[in-house]
Structures are given as structure tokens and as C-alpha cells.
Homo-oligomer: A and B are copies of this chain.
Amino acid sequence: MTSPEISLHQSLDLGLDGGTLTARLVDFPSVSGSEGPLADAVEAALRAYPHLTVDRYGNNVVARTNLGRSERVLLAGHLDTVPIADNVPSHVEGDLLYGCGTSDMKSGVAVQLRLAATLPDPNRDLTFVFYDCEEIEASRNGLGHLVARHPDWLAADFAVLMEPSGAMVEGGCQGTLRVDVKLTGTRAHSARSWLGDNAIHKAGEVLRRLEAYQPRRVEIDGLEYREGLNANLISGGVAANVIPDECVVHVNFRYAPDRTEAEAVEHVREVLAGFEVVVTDSAPGALPGLDQPAARAFLAAVGGEARAKFGWTDVARFSALGVPAVNYGPGDPNLAHKRDEHCSLAAIAEVEARLRAWLTAN
């Protein structure tokens, strides 16, 4: 439920501390597809700062410094949330701010806005990207629309996607490939099963191979990626008294970013050799790019140990543009999309402080 005193046309005060600004953003509902008012407020707030050039495409807002620095860093975050589940407006309990989007990822957006407003003279040129529709089907993803229509706005040497990462650097992301394995046979009445050819039984060998499969662990730029090859869905059969003539096993391969999409397909076809494998979905991984100068400086500045990102995220879109990218945000990835979603106020302050230190160091 949205509290009635919340105005959808309120302005955003970027002088607030990160935690308070996060609360304001959470109390400004922006479920996927209805980000317009929040994008308006973000655009208006940023246009107040003369050191920023602000562009807008749809409900995507891009603010940039143009100081002629030798490196450019991009910080990106999505404005939308999953549907509200009785968890708006926000509330604070001790160090924790509760509410829809606290973790995923209005805390990250608050840090972006704070840095945009308060870094008129950073050591690297900065690009801040706020986009819509990340939580829904890929075809509506605002960052994807910017890649297609305004790739020049996204030019950078390094990108930080401020998705929840527990205030740790998560490098790159794994690729994901979905295939259907189709088994076919011949129908017959169950009472005369020898006249048929059971398609479900044939799935036994597919599942046996998947069960026996030893997923690879591989180190890239010092990060360990763990792959996985799994049957996630299976269905087969016609009726309880019919020998089935079809069974489909839906298999998902999550692979380290040193494989290309084509190599991932080839690998799955090898594992399931002899079976009909149909690719239904494919998204490439993203290399962590931690060997880049900007990334090395970033890692040194934010400290802590980097780890591999396993889920697929929009860093892959930057990777496809040739921009190394990492995930780094104050939210807790395990709380995303949950009713009791919350974020540590200390983590918001810490992430902002570390990024500020990195972007102002001499």
C-alpha cells in the first residue's frame, strides 16, 4: 500500500544522506513500466547541477561530466522495482532500512545520485545511467534500448553496475544457455506396451548424464567461476494409460565468461551427444575486466576481495559494448524481490564513501 501523503510529483533533494535519500526513493513507487514520475524527478534533480550534461530517452536518464579526463567511468542502476508487496512506505529498524527496492536497487541509485550531485571535479569523467524495466522481459530493458539507440551515451573505459552485491565487488557475469532436449517414441496402449516405444524412458540417459556431469571451476582475472548444467523442467506423457511418444527436458547451462555463446552450445551438444538439442535462449557472459587500469584502481580503492558474479546481469550489455564492468552495490542480493527486503544503512554510506575516495584520489 502506498501511503496517501506520498506525492508522486515530489522533488528529490540530493543533499540528503544516502540512507535518507534511499528511503525517499523507496517511498516513490516505480514498479516496472511505471517509472515515468521517478525518471522525471531524477532528471529534474540532475539538471540543477551545471557540471552535468543530462540526456533522456524514454524513461532512461543519462548525466555526464565533460572534463576531458583521460578515463571515463560509468555508474549504472535501474529505477524500477518488482511489484510492491505491502512493503512501502519504507521504515527503519536500527541499521536496517526496510521496503520494496531498498536492496534491489534504490540504495545503489541513491549512491549514484549522491555522487552525481557532489562530484563536480572528479579524477575521471563520469557517466551516470538510470534506466527502466530491468525487472521484466529483456525486450523492454531500458539499458538495452540505450545500447541500441544511443550507444555513444554509454561510451566508457569501465562500468560499475550498482546491483546488490553486498558491498563487495562482483566481477563480470556468467552466461546462460537454455536448451530443450526432445525425446520421441511411439504411442501405444499401456496394456500392450511392447507395441510402443517409451519416450520418457529415453530421458533416463539424459538425466543420468546430467547427474554425472562434473561442472567446471575456472579462474578468470583472479575470480573463480563455477558452472552448472541442470535439468530445470521436465514434462512428458499423454495420459495415464498411454505409452508416451514425447518427453521434453528443459536444460539450463550457466557458464563462465571465458566461453562464448557458440562454445557453450557446442559443449552442451557434446555432453548430450545422440540427443536432439534445441537452443531456446542464450545470453553471453561478461568478463570481469579486472586487468584494466580503471578496474585495478577501483578494486584498490574499494578494497576487500572481489568475487565472481554467478547470476546473469546487465554487465553483459557493457561487455558486449567492449566496456569491462563489475557489479558493486550496497544491497544484499539474497534479499532482492523478497517481502522483507531491506538494506544496511551503513553499507549505503560505505559504498558511497569508497566510490567517492576512488573518484577523487590524486
Complex interface: stretch among A106-114, A203-211, A264-272: A203-211
A: number of interface residues (CB 8 Å): 48
| Residues of chain B with a CB closer than 8 A to A228's CB | 190-194
| Complex Cα gap A310–B241 (Å) | 12
| Residues of chain B with a CB closer than 8 A to A238's CB | 232
Nearest residue in B to A235 (C-beta to C-beta)? Answer: B235
Q: Do B193 and A234 touch across chains, with their CB atoms under 8 A apart?
A: no
Nearest residue in B to A174 (C-beta to C-beta)? Answer: B191
| Residues of chain B with a CB closer than 8 A to A338's CB | none
A-B contact pairs, 5 of them (CB 8 A): A190-B232, A192-B310, A202-B207, A203-B204, A232-B241
A242 CB–B CB distance under 8 Å = yes
**Which among A191, A194, A236, A281 has the greatest number of chain B C-beta atoms within 10 A?**
A191
| Complex Cα gap A171–B180 (Å) | 44
Q: Do A191 and B237 touch across chains, with their CB atoms under 8 A apart?
A: no
A243 CB–B CB distance under 8 Å = yes
Partner of A242, one of B198, B204, B232, B237: B232
**Complex interface residues of chain A between 172 and 190 (CB less than 8 A to chain B):** 174, 176, 178, 189-190
Shortest distance between the CB of A244 and any CB in chain B (Å): 6
| Residues of chain B with a CB closer than 8 A to A230's CB | 190, 193, 198, 200-201, 243
Nearest 10 A-B pairs (CB), nearest first?
A204-B207, A193-B228, A233-B237, A201-B211, A204-B208, A191-B310, A191-B311, A200-B231, A234-B236, A190-B252
Question: Chain A residues in contact with chain B, CB under 8 A?
Answer: 174, 176, 178, 189-194, 198, 200-208, 210-211, 215, 226, 228, 230-244, 247, 249-250, 252, 254, 281, 310-312
| Residues of chain B with a CB closer than 8 A to A250's CB | 237, 240
Q: Do B232 and A234 touch across chains, with their CB atoms under 8 A apart?
A: no
Q: Do A240 and B232 touch across chains, with their CB atoms under 8 A apart?
A: yes
Secondary structure class of chain A's binding surface, majority of residues: mixed
Nearest residue in B to A229 (C-beta to C-beta)? Answer: B193
Nearest residue in B to A178 (C-beta to C-beta)? Answer: B240
Shortest distance between the CB of A255 and any CB in chain B (Å): 10
| Complex Cα gap A174–B232 (Å) | 37
| Complex Cα gap A250–B198 (Å) | 13
Known: A201-B231, A237-B234, A252-B241. A312 touches B191 (CB 8 A): yes
| Residues of chain B with a CB closer than 8 A to A203's CB | 203-204, 207, 234
| Residues of chain B with a CB closer than 8 A to A208's CB | 204-205, 208
Q: Do B193 and A204 touch across chains, with their CB atoms under 8 A apart?
A: no
Shortest distance between the CB of A5 and any CB in chain B (Å): 37
